[in-house]
Amino acid sequence: MGPVVPPLVIPENEVEFSAIRAQGAGGQNVNKVSSAVHLRFDIRASSLPDEIKERLLALNDQRITGEGVVVIKAQTSRSQDMNRADALQRLQALVDAVALPPKPRRATKPTYGSKQRRLEGKGIRAVIKAGRGKVRE
């Protein structure tokens, strides 16, 4: 088993919330109440360790803008508090996903047997395809 890393806690003062109106069905409630939440988290200005900031910025994730700001929209619940908690949980999951460094890849070579099986399969395929050509007399 790998090293156990304590979970990183994101300070709430580094996270910016703004209430917006939710999209989709919901009747009059959707038109009147701003229950959806936009979460904004600036990676570069955060107190996260530098290696985690680098890994977060290197992610190819559409929630991370070009300026290095994570934007998460939560609107699954009718309650603003629940949407806020959901957005924080999703941000925490994103940070936890890059908390452990990726295992270095070790180059391997195919075994002799696997090479032989591959060449044998290619030979069989070649014979089948050669049989599809024009018939010569």
Mean pLDDT of the chain: 86
* Residue 72, pLDDT score: 92
* For residue 84, pLDDT beyond 70: yes
Model confidence pLDDT, tens digit, residues 14-44:
888 888 888 877 667 667 778 889 999 998 8
* For residue 58, pLDDT beyond 80: yes
Residue 25 to residue 54: CA distance in whole angstroms = 39
**How many CA atoms does the CB half-sphere of 125 hold within 13 Å?**
6
Residue 42 to residue 76: CA distance in whole angstroms = 23
Q: Is the separation of the CB atoms in 70 and 46 below 8 Å?
A: no
Percentage of the residues of the chain whose pLDDT score is greater than 70: 92
| Amino acid symbol at 44 | R
Average confidence (pLDDT) over 106-135: 94
* Residue 112, pLDDT score: 97
Q: Is the separation of the CB atoms in 72 and 88 below 8 Å?
A: no
- Which domains does the chain carry? 12-99 (3.30.160.20)
| Amino acid symbol at 36 | A
Q: What is the pTM of this model?
A: 0.68
Q: Specify which residues 74 forms β-bridges with.
A: 37
* Angstrom distances, CA of residue 26 to CA of 22, 37, 38, 85: 9, 16, 19, 21
Residue 43 phi/psi, 5-degree rounding, is -65, -45
* Residue 111, pLDDT score: 96
